[in-house]
């Protein structure tokens, strides 16, 4: 009888291909083998270290995306905005393709499993929240953040306490830690799903008398039920906390989080095509995210020269554009002769300054103002690409 083991179990020191002992039957030997290896893996996970990744040869680069919820929809939409269309034949399937990246395969996974499979070598790239990366990656050196700000999934991990009773006048982490109530016999009880970041944060802040209970949902009810004194959870708007009579405290934010593109260092340096794929994804992301919220404004203006028009434009505070206005002559014909009567001005303006910029253009003689949203801004070089190469020592 043959026994197929997962990759990490195959690395177990007790695994052997030697024939079974005549005293121990094959079935009992296999059971003992699996039990021993699983115990070894569980021990390594309990100690905060993932099993070592094994580089399995395959032709396709694997990209992990969240499988459910708002993060899943936003990740697919962002890639679509970058002209990377995720094609899923069946919505029940966990695998998809990106036609623009023929060497890349998409796998839909739970966010925490994306991090775990990056560490195990089953995925090469992934999009997850920085909170999930920090909690399940636990600062593992094989995980490298390619782009840390994908502009969705914004939230922060924060401690919250009741706004009533003994906590009514407690407004900071320092005040919470100095409450005389806490001791070895009666520690501060914190309910959280972040059992790595929570204890780490408390230790870094010198809070000793504290215990953590594991919970995944409806944490806001824990203090009212008497299960916990405080909670450590993700906060977006803070509305849910207020509706459950909870409050955040000064110094209680563990980390700021949003969606990020993450990769396996080992995959980028050893898997054929992985680095080139990351380069293309990164260029598309950078170009789109830089253009997000930017508008192209075009207007005609009379003037004796391009320099004269440029001086008029650049004297206005919100008309400088990204690197200065582009000014070019507009050629007209009259009586069979070609001459310059107008100059066209092209500038890039952020959405929040759009109307004031249009007003300033019109005030200095601009007319025929055209406005259109920008889709991409490709720089001469992608800053994060250079940073990635330095991190990889390439």
CATH code where residue 325 lies: 3.30.70.120
- Measured CA to CA, the distance from residue 281 to residue 63 in angstroms comes to 11
Q: What per-residue confidence (pLDDT) applies to 322?
A: 77
Range of the domain at 165: 155-256
Q: Are residues 264 and 318 in the same domain?
A: no
The answer to the question of residue 387 being in a domain is no
Q: How far apart are CA 202 and CA 182, in angstroms?
A: 14
- Co-location of 174 and 252 in the same domain: yes
Specify whether 138 is located in the same domain as 267: yes
- Tell me, yes or no, whether 202 and 266 share the same domain: no
Of 256, 281, 311, the last residue of a domain is 256
Q: CB neighbours of 200 closer than 8 A, spacing ≥ 6?
A: none
Q: Over 60: is that where the pLDDT of 4 sits?
A: no
Q: Does the pLDDT at position 1 exceed 60?
A: no
Residues 305 and 345 reside in one and the same domain: yes
Statement to judge: residues 175 and 248 lie in one domain:
yes
CA dihedral sign, ordered 73, 75, 76, 80: positive
Which tens digits make up the pLDDT trace of 93-107? 899 999 999 999 999
| pLDDT > 70 in the chain, percent | 86
For residues 132 and 268, membership in a common domain is answered with yes
* Least confidently predicted of 5-9, 146-150, 178-182: 5-9
Same domain membership, residue 263 and residue 226: no
Residue 214 falls inside a structural domain:
yes
Q: What is the pLDDT of residues 157-210, one digit of tens each?
A: 999 999 999 999 999 999 999 999 999 999 999 999 999 999 999 999 999 999
Shared domain check, 349 and 204: no
- Does residue 109 sit in the same domain as residue 139? yes
What secondary structure does DSSP assign to 133-186, as a single string? HHHHHTT-TTEEEEES--S-S-EEEEEEEESSGGGTT--BHHHHHT-TT--SSS
Examine the domain organization and report whether 68 and 140 are in the same domain. Answer: yes
Q: Which among 196, 227, 256 is the end of a domain? A: 256
Distance CA 346, CA 321 (A): 8
pLDDT of residue 114: 98
Residue 82 included in any domain: yes
User: Has residue 345 been placed in a domain?
Assistant: yes
Taken as a whole, the chain contains a residue count of: 394
Structure tokens at 282: 């990164």
Q: Out of 19-23, 306-310, 373-377, pick the least confident.
A: 19-23
Which CATH number covers residue 77?
Answer: 3.40.190.10
Across 200-227, average pLDDT? 91
Residue 196 domain-assigned (yes or no):
yes
Closest CA to 62 of 258, 269, 278: 278
What confidence tier does 319 reach under pLDDT thresholds 50, 70, 90?
confident
Contact 285, 382 (CB under 8 A): no
Q: Residue 5 falls within a domain, yes or no?
A: no
**Of 196, 210, 177, nearest to 115 (Cα)?**
196
Domain boundary among 209, 230, 256: 256
Number of domains in the chain: 3
90 and 147 belong to one structural domain: yes
> Tokens 């806001």 label which residue?
220
Task: Please check whether residue 94 lies inside any domain of the structure.
Answer: yes
Q: Which helix (H) or strand (E) holds 74?
A: helix 69-81
User: Please, are residues 346 and 297 in contact by the beta-carbon 8 Å criterion?
Assistant: yes
Average pLDDT, the chain: 87
Query: Within a domain: residue 344?
Result: yes
Cα gap 147→135, rounded to integer Å: 18
């Amino acid at each position: 009888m043959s026994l197929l083991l997962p990759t990490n179990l195959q690395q177990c020191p007790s695994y052997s291909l030697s024939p079974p002992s005549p005293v121990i039957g094959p079935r009992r030997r296999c059971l003992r083998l699996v039990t021993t290896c699983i115990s070894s893996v569980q021990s390594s996970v309990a100690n905060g270290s993932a099993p070592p990744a094994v580089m399995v040869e395959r032709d396709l680069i694997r990209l992990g995306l969240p499988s459910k919820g708002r993060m899943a929809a936003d990740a697919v939409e962002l890639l679509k905005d970058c002209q990377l269309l995720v094609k899923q034949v069946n919505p029940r399937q966990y695998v998809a393709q990106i036609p623009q990246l023929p060497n890349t395969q998409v796998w839909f996974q739970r966010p925490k499993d994306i991090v775990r499979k990056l560490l195990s070598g089953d995925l090469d790239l992934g999009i997850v929240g920085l909170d999930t990366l920090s909690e399940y990656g636990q600062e593992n050196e094989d995980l490298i953040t390619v782009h840390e700000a994908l502009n969705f999934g914004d939230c922060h991990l924060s401690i919250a306490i009741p706004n009533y009773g003994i906590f009514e006048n407690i407004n900071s982490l320092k005040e919470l830690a100095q409450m005389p109530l806490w001791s070895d016999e009666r520690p501060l009880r914190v309910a959280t799903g972040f059992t790595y970041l929570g204890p780490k944060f408390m230790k870094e802040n010198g809070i000793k008398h504290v215990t953590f209970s594991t919970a995944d949902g409806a944490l806001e009810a824990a203090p009212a039920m008497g299960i916990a004194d405080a909670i450590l959870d993700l906060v977006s708007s803070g509305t849910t906390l207020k509706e459950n009579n909870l409050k955040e405290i000064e110094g209680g934010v563990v980390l700021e989080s949003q969606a990020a593109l993450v990769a396996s260092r080992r995959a980028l340096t050893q898997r054929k095509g992985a680095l080139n794929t990351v380069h293309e994804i990164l260029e598309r992301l950078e170009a789109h995210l830089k253009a997000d919220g930017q508008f192209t404004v075009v207007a005609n203006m009379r003037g004796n020269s391009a320099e004269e028009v440029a001086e008029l434009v650049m004297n206005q505070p919100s008309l400088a554009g990204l690197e200065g206005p582009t000014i070019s002559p507009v050629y007209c014909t009259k009586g069979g002769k070609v001459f310059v009567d107008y100059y066209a001005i092209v500038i890039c303006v952020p959405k929040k300054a759009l109307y004031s910029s249009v007003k300033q253009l019109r005030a200095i003689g601009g007319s025929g103002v055209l406005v259109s949203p920008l889709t991409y801004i490709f720089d001469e070089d992608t800053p994060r690409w250079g940073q990635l190469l330095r991190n990889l020592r390439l």
